[in-house]
Amino acid sequence: MKRFVIGAIAASVLLAAPAQAQTAQGFSPEIEASIAQTLPRMITWRRDLHQNPELSYEEVRTARVVAAHLRSLRMEVRTGIAQTGVVGILRGGRPGPVIALRADMDALPVTEEGDLPFRSRARGTYNGQDVGIMHACGHDTHVAILMAAASVLAARREELAGTIIFVFQPSEEGAPPGGLGGARRMLAENVFGDLEPEAIFGLHAWPTESGTIMMIPGPMMAGSDRLDITVTGSQTHGAQPHAGIDPIVVSAQIINALQTIPSRQMNAVSSPVIVTVGMIQGGVRYNIIPQTVQMQGTVRYLNPETREDLYNRIRRTVTEVAAASGATAEVTITENAIPTVNPPEHLERARAAAARALGADAVRSGYPVMPAEDFAYFQRELPGVFFFYGVNPPGVSQADAAPNHNPRFFVHEPAMETGLRAMLAVALDRVGPQP
């Protein structure tokens, strides 16, 4: 992978202010007519998907809806890729490049708290627990937008110079224990077949201003791995701590020491890092110092080149802090996602295409964020551009909006048209006709 310095953050801010304002040119009258015809159906699809969310690798109904739609457009359709994934292939009327467009399909174990008339009341089982299920990250809109893009592009297939692969991916929200997440599994199962895309594009709902998209060159979203720590001491009576080794106290010292890694050991500019311990379990009785304590957490990083150094520091900190008290500690770090990195040259081409279609004022830049996205695995195999589209209602700031994964996460549905137009813009920039 190429070296991307986080200084691209500063460059992205500068790119937000073009020298000359550029107004939207839109698309050809024929494509505009197709967009207008498709918009009501896109909203209907989104509401149906929102009411019927499915967890990772359980997207059976969603896959069936998607596959039926792609077949109605006379595409070549493959199902069962990565268990529930769907791929549609649209071949244009003229020769040209191959590109791919991707949407993720899975929902989250979150109980919806909003008052939408189409709110989710679905329930399921996650980690052995009965849970509510909700599209709390906007994947329902991603699927509906890509279905709409497929409709618009298929209606103009004879004018297209190239081939478009529509990838509907399961299990973006995390790999099952011991398994692969959706992007890695689709790649392992030869998602593109004999075709070789020159680029892949994806988008994500984000609680920013409606009617805008945000394109960030270089590292855009973090790598995210799971951290498991087991601290072993020596069990004893709570009244006689000197007779044993207290793994709870040692664990507290480890948690504090881990925070010195991002704050004192890593370059805060070129290597932003987060180490979070989200679970700690130890002991069964108030007056017994236990034998072991187990902790789980997440590690986030933006610079791909610092990963091994970061993890060596984590292992050293945990084991040596434990050893200083006479305890032992085992550290396991499980890869969940690598950083999402937009190649600057491909990002700028996509930005220009989006600006032509939406107007330069609608195409924003910003800072990288620390959530993760397994679209990064597609980017590791071929050039890929990932971007956010804003979903807040007018007048609602990002600070006031519910974040992704929140039970009150909300999408202003008119914003989906911006997402659709952006996806059409980056696709048509490669396979024509031009906007």
Output the pLDDT for position 63: 98
Q: Which DSSP letter does residue 210 get? A: T
Q: State whether 283 and 403 are in the same domain.
A: no
Tell me: do 329 and 427 sit in the same domain. Answer: no
Owning domain of residue 231 = 223-337
Is 295 a member of any domain?
yes
List the catalytic residue out of 58, 59, 104, 106: 106
Indicate the burial class of 256 (C-beta count within 10 angstroms; 0-12, 13-18, 19 or more). Answer: exposed
| Domain limit, last residue, from 337, 356, 373 | 337
Q: What pLDDT, on the 0 to 100 scale, is given for residue 360?
A: 96
406 and 317 in a common domain: no
Is 3 inside any structural domain? Answer: no
Domain match, 359 and 255 both: no
Which helix or strand (DSSP H or E) is residue 173 part of? Answer: none
Q: What DSSP assignment string belongs to 355-372?
A: HHHH-GGGEE----BSS-
Q: Which of 289, 304, 337 is the last residue of a domain?
A: 337
CATH number of domain containing 229: 3.30.70.360
- The answer to whether residue 420 sits within a structural domain is yes
14 and 141 co-located in one domain: yes
Q: Tell me what pLDDT residue 35 has.
A: 97
- Per the structure, the count of domains in the chain is 2
Alpha-carbon separation of residue 115 from 118, 124, 136 (angstroms): 8, 20, 14
2 inside domain: no
pTM: 0.90
Phi-psi region for residue 195, left (φ > 0), alpha (ψ -120 to 50) or beta?
Answer: beta
Question: Is 106 an annotated catalytic residue?
Answer: yes
The gap between the terminal CA atoms of the chain, to the nearest Å, is 32
Domain check: are 121 and 256 in the same one? no
CB burial string 123-156: b at 16+ within 10 A, e below: eeebeeeebbbbbbbbbbbbbbbbbbbbbbbbbb
Q: What is the pLDDT of residue 177?
A: 82
Looking at the fold, whether 82 and 182 belong to one and the same domain comes out as: yes
Question: Is 286 among the domain residues?
Answer: yes
152 and 248, same domain (yes or no) = no
Any domain includes 394: yes
Q: What is the model's pLDDT at position 176?
A: 87
Residue in 58, 112, 172, 209 annotated catalytic: 172
Q: Determine, yes or no, domain membership for 291.
A: yes
Residues 308 and 421 in one domain: no
CA neighbor of 107 nearest in space, from 148, 159, 59: 59
The CATH number of the domain where 14 resides is what?
A: 3.40.630.10
Identify whether residues 270 and 403 lie together within a single domain: no
- From first to last of its 435 residues, the chain has per-residue pLDDT tens of 333 333 433 333 333 333 334 567 889 999 999 999 999 999 999 999 999 999 999 999 999 999 999 999 999 999 999 999 999 999 999 999 999 999 999 999 999 998 999 999 999 999 899 999 999 999 999 999 999 999 999 999 999 999 999 999 999 998 888 899 999 999 999 999 999 999 999 999 999 999 999 999 999 999 999 999 999 999 999 999 999 999 999 999 999 999 999 999 999 998 999 999 999 999 999 999 999 999 999 999 999 999 999 999 999 999 999 999 999 999 999 998 999 999 999 999 999 999 999 999 999 999 999 999 999 999 999 999 999 999 999 999 999 999 999 999 999 999 999 999 999 999 999 998 654
Peptide bond into 368 cis (omega under 30): no
Alpha helices in 15-105 (DSSP H): 29-51, 60-72
Domain boundary among 337, 359, 376: 337
**Same domain, yes or no, for 148 and 32?**
yes
Do 377 and 384 form a contact (C-beta atoms < 8 A)? no
The string of pLDDT tens digits covering residues 317-348 is: 999 999 999 999 999 999 989 999 999 999 99
Asked if residue 201 and residue 62 are part of one domain, the reply reads yes
Residue 76: count of CB within 10 angstroms of its CB: 14
- Active-site residue 172, yes or no? yes
**In 3D, which of 273, 279, 275, 278 has the Cα closest to residue 259?**
275
Identify whether 81 is part of a domain.
yes
Position 292 scores a pLDDT of: 98
